[in-house]
Amino acid sequence: MQIIEDVSDMRQWSKTQRRAGRRIVLVPTMGFLHEGHLCLVRAARARGDRVVVSIFVNPTQFGPGDDFAAYPRDFERDRRLLEAENVDVLFHPSVRQIYPPGAQTFVEVEQLSLPLCGSVRPGHFRGVATVVAKLFNIARPDAAIFGAKDYQQLQVIRRMACDLNMDVEIIGHPIVREADGLAMSSRNAYLSASERQAAVCLSRGLCKAERLFKRGESAAARLIDVVMTELRREPLATVEYVKLCDAETLADVDAIDAPALLAVAVRFGRARLIDNRVLKHQGG
């Protein structure tokens, strides 16, 4: 595995691979890798000839009160994990390389960035869209893989790629979970033992709502209430939002008649966890 830190070296590598007719698949990450990331890497391997994984903790997607400085990092461990997955390139640029001094250009995906996490983290998706556009311009992948755990991020990136006529296939990957249902996340490392136990309430609540939906309940108020009830049973949980919205536009819905996203964000101490479930009628 090659480790590339320099933007022009990354460009050169991609150019050579593309000239040789190889299909490059990119997996953007912020590092501190877990099995969820590695599943994306394996999916990338299955979808292309060359796999590039980027590790970049992107400052512009963190707000002033967010955990940028504290975000967990362990480059040596990440490097070993990616080496074992036969990744071709680990792209690990510095902040200065990605944001040259005086940078003033950003990508804003307007409507999709506003609800859900966008409403509590203003500017977050502007940072995400900007860095992903940069990574696409540098690594020039044929395809890129993103996890459905960050469902809104996936939608924002799909929209950006379409709106800016980017020649990149955007591939979504299902949520990878721990045995008890907790969605894997680098931020799970922040959880104390008791918070870790309590954190399973997100997926438990979503499962209960899904079961109710499958039994015929379509009203947003009822489905949201089931999740809320589950979350409120955990004194360590501070609910940020529970929302039912259209799975494409992310606009709130009152009832499910087209595919809908049931999404939750909950804080446990300094850990902010998100999870979601897409609910759709059979054949829908």
Site for ligand AMP, rule CB under 6 A: 29-30, 36-37, 40, 146-147, 149-150, 173, 175-176, 183-186
Please enumerate in sequence order all residues whose Cβ is within 8 A of that of 77, keeping only pairs 6 or more positions apart, or say none: 33
Q: Which long-range CB contacts under 8 A does 69-72 form with residues at least 24 apart?
A: 70/270, 71/30, 71/32, 71/186, 72/32, 72/186, 72/187, 72/189, 72/190
Q: How far is the CB of 21 from ligand AMP (least distance, A)?
A: 27
Q: How far from chain centre, in Å, is Cα 166?
A: 19
Q: How far is the CB of 62 from ligand AMP (least distance, A)?
A: 11
Q: Which is nearer to ligand AMP, 24 or 40 (CB)?
A: 40
Catalytic (active site) residue 173: no
Q: How far is the CB of 44 from ligand AMP (least distance, A)?
A: 11
Q: Which is nearer to ligand AMP, 147 or 227 (CB)?
A: 147
- Active-site residue (options: 37, 92, 124, 173): 37
Q: How far apart are CA 137 and CA 45, in angstroms?
A: 21
Q: How far is the CB of 19 from ligand AMP (least distance, A)?
A: 28
Residue nearest to ligand AMP (CB): 147
Please enumerate in sequence order all residues whose Cβ is within 8 A of that of 230, keeping only pairs 6 or more positions apart, or say none: 201, 204, 205, 208
**Structural Rg of the chain based on CA atoms:** 19
Q: How far is the CB of 171 from ligand AMP (least distance, A)?
A: 10
Give the active site residues.
37
